[in-house]
Structure 1
């Protein structure tokens, strides 16, 4: 039996979430097929109380592929001053990436995992939001280096090392 609509299971984690940063985010939300905005602005659909989150930080943009009955989603970056990490790729302002069945997203210290459960409704989709007490995403240190950070070069070998070689 097919689902009546697509459901996005969204898990959220932030180390300071006990300070109310997710307080304005509903546990369940039904939305039409316009973009769903994440941010701290008054008109954001999912509001975060974090100073590092822009008023309009990112959006989920549903679309229907030709010949498909289930909605597909792009994640689009709306913040000019922040980068968003999605499934191993760092995105900047106005860049977008299609969501996979399970997408991992990091922005402004927020870890988010989005699981897409397809459904046949073309007019709306639902979000079920869960808050995690422990981190959702673990990355190797090498992946965390920002493209604008200086990468420390190997130091010059000492005199003793040169003499041994």
Structure 2
């Protein structure tokens, strides 16, 4: 066996940006321009754009409510890390992009964590970065979700408000017009 056949190439270690899309009123035409379930290669020095314009956007959505250029993902590297990272930028003048609860206005940019929930318009996305060591390119894998990634991930988040037993004394207290708690530092006028 020759040495070149045993060496692993850069293609074996490409970073992959997995983008799982959801829309509540999805129809087949909306995602018809996407290569679903397959990995496509993207040059790292070229932003990965998403929007309605199929000529300038690698991820083109057939939806008149989406901006021609809605958002972009830009790959970058840091001097002290072998991995490839991504930032997301809002390219829409009319709509905001929400990334893990942080709103981005026109041309605002944010570094993506390894896993992110993104919203724009009625679209929701779960974006996951799969680690790789490639320097010049990365892969993108697109898929469509049947349920919202926000409801799916909320099942793993503990409830913020405890559910009270309906027969407890606390239920009666909740119905009372009297305050349940008082601040000891408040001065009351009686």
Give the TM-score normalised by structure 2. 0.69
- SS of the counterpart of 1:126? strand
Match of 1:32 among 43, 47, 55: 43
Q: Distance in 2 between matches of 1:52 and 1:95?
A: 20
- SS of the counterpart of 2:134? coil
- SS of the counterpart of 1:21? helix
1:67 offset after TM fit, Å? 2.0
Q: Distance in 2 between matches of 1:49 and 1:137?
A: 23
Q: Distance in 1 between matches of 2:52 and 2:142?
A: 17
Flag the structure with higher strand content: 1
Q: Which runs of 5+ in 2 are unaligned?
A: 1-7, 155-176, 178-189
The reply on whether 1:55 has 2:64 as its aligned counterpart is no
Q: Which runs of 5+ in 1 are unaligned?
A: 141-160
Larger radius of gyration: 2
Match of 1:67 among 80, 97, 101: 80
- SS of the counterpart of 1:20? helix
Which residues of 2 match residues 1-150 of structure 1 at below 5 A? 4-27=13-36, 28-33=39-44, 34-41=46-53, 42-138=55-151
- SS of the counterpart of 1:29? strand
Q: Distance in 2 between matches of 1:4 and 1:53?
A: 33
1:19 offset after TM fit, Å? 4.4
- SS of the counterpart of 2:128? strand
Matched positions, count: 142
- SS of the counterpart of 2:27? helix
- After the TM superposition, which segments of 4 or more aligned residues of structure 1 sit over 6 Å from their partners? none
Q: Distance in 2 between matches of 1:25 and 1:75?
A: 19
Highest relative contact order (Cα 8 Å, sep 6+), 1 or 2?
Answer: 1
